[in-house]
Amino acid sequence: MAKTIVQEFTKGLWKEIPPFRLVLGLCPTLALTKSVENGVGMGFALTFVLVCSNILIAALRKVIPPKVRIACFIIIVATFVIIVELMMQAYTYSLYEKMGIFIPLIVVNCIPLGRAEAFAYKNGIIRSILDGLGMGIGYTLSLGSLALIRETIGTGSLVGAIPFLFSYNFTNIFGEAYQPFSFMVEAPGAFVCLGLMLCVMNMLGKK
């Protein structure tokens, strides 16, 4: 069942959307969705790493010996992660400080490694780019939506900036009298919220 090129891109947006359908990359999904800014920042970082590593792995797939392929994938992914880390330190330092350890942890995130092994190592460059882009955007959207729910309910306001695009500042969305439901921005709230999201996704996918 060969997929068309468009399908390679769109599968990451709905059918195989990483944290909700593949249930991969959950650590940052739980930890970095306290605010939309962090969630989307993480999504961007992962998209960059994913697209770049997919390109390189697809280009080198004939050269990389199967026995050491995992080691090669890790070198490639780690290189791009460090590039992201350095760039964030240089250009978006405050976001880098908030995301802290989760940037270097992209190296051991299942998504780049999973896509390398399951897709880029077996497919051409164009398809790999689309696959990486789709998965990355899907991941960004999932983290963004999860963070949107948590930040709105948990703090009653949305404050931050999407890196390189725009900043936003909505305070007291529910009015002055709203008492922030701070459980939602704590760790247990992340689990509950993610569980409910998975439940909704499964219900929608069933029909």
Partner 1 sequence: MKEMINMVVVLTILSVTSGGSLAFLRDKTKDRIEQQQLKFVKGPAIMSVLPNVTNDPTESYFKLNAGTKQERSFFVGMVDGKQKYVAFESKGKGFGGEIGLMIGVDLETDQVVGVGITTHAETPGLGSRAKTDPAFTNQFKGKPLMETFKVKSDGGNIDALSGATITSRGVSDGVTQAGAIYKELKPQILEGLKTVKK
Task: Write out the residues near partner 1 by the rule CB under 8 A.
Answer: 63-65, 67-68, 71-72, 75-76, 78-79, 82-83, 86-87, 89-91, 93-94, 97
What's the min distance (Å) between Cβ of 99 and partner 1? 14
Q: C-alpha distances in angstroms, 105 versus 28, 101, 159?
A: 9, 6, 26
DSSP-assigned letters across all residues of 91-145: H-HHHHHHHGGGTGGGGG-HHHHHHIIIIITTS-HHHHHHHHHHHHHHHHHHHHH
What's the min distance (Å) between Cβ of 69 and partner 1? 10
| Minimum CB distance to partner 1 smaller for 46 or for 76 | 76
What's the min distance (Å) between Cβ of 20 and partner 1? 31
What's the min distance (Å) between Cβ of 63 and partner 1? 6
In one-letter notation, the amino acid at residue 202 is N
What's the min distance (Å) between Cβ of 100 and partner 1? 11
As a whole number of Å, the CA-based R_g of the chain is 18
| Minimum CB distance to partner 1 smaller for 66 or for 175 | 66
Q: Which residues, other chains included, contact 180 with Cβ-Cβ below 8 Å and sequence gap of 6+?
A: 154, 155, 156
| Minimum CB distance to partner 1 smaller for 53 or for 123 | 53
From CA 120, how far away is CA 132, in angstroms rounded? 9
Q: C-alpha distances in angstroms, 109 versus 3, 58, 86, 125?
A: 26, 19, 18, 22
CB 58 within 8 A of CB 124: yes
| Minimum CB distance to partner 1 smaller for 56 or for 143 | 56
| Minimum CB distance to partner 1 smaller for 91 or for 178 | 91
What's the min distance (Å) between Cβ of 58 and partner 1? 15
| Minimum CB distance to partner 1 smaller for 1 or for 101 | 101
Closest CA to 26 of 197, 204, 202, 200: 197
